[in-house]
Amino acid sequence: MTKKYVVRLSAEDRSQLDALVSTGKAAARKILHAQVLLRVDADGPNCTDEQTAEAVGLTTTSVCTIRERFVNEGLDSALCRKKQDQPSRQPTFDGAKEARMLALACGKPPEGRARWTLRLLAGKLVELKVLDTVSHEAIRQTLKKMRLSLT
């Protein structure tokens, strides 16, 4: 079976990877990826994906992915983790919503209360339709980030 992505390391790349592996002063993942690239080099050992995966303790899919990233994006991309395109979830509060919550928290508490609680703030923000839903924990974290306290 012919390989779709053939790794051909230049002498400079090979010496850089050798130095990275031999010194061991980098992240474990980076060293592991360097070992993979050195083993699958077509001008070097030219090991198969299965041999490489068994030698370094990865799956063959991981070896294929590392080789593909080297060919398509270069050495730095193959050694480091891929950056996330978007955050896993969107933040609950943006600047305007934070300001609205802060104004509410610093304002007069509800009738019959001495001060605002996290749960009261959450309920009021939903009631005012600032947010669809919000937990008291999200409010606590936002206030903590702003170095504020309800006490």
Looking at 69-78, 110-119, 139-148, which range is the least confident one? 139-148
Q: Does 150 fall in a domain?
A: no
The amino acid occupying position 41 is D
CA distance 149 to 106: 10
Q: Does 67 fall in a domain?
A: yes
Structure tokens at 65: 């992915």
Q: Does 2 fall in a domain?
A: no
Q: Is the pLDDT of residue 39 over 80?
A: yes
Count of domains in the chain?
2
Q: Answer for the pair 70, 7: CB distance below 8 angstroms, yes or no.
A: yes
Q: Does 21 fall in a domain?
A: yes
Residue 54's pLDDT is what? Answer: 95
Q: Does 89 fall in a domain?
A: no
Note the pTM of the prediction, 2 decimals.
0.62
CA distance 20 to 40: 16
What is the DSSP code (8-state) at residue 84? P
Structure tokens at 106: 């610093």
- Residue range of the domain that includes 102: 95-145
**Pair 16, 68 in one domain:** yes
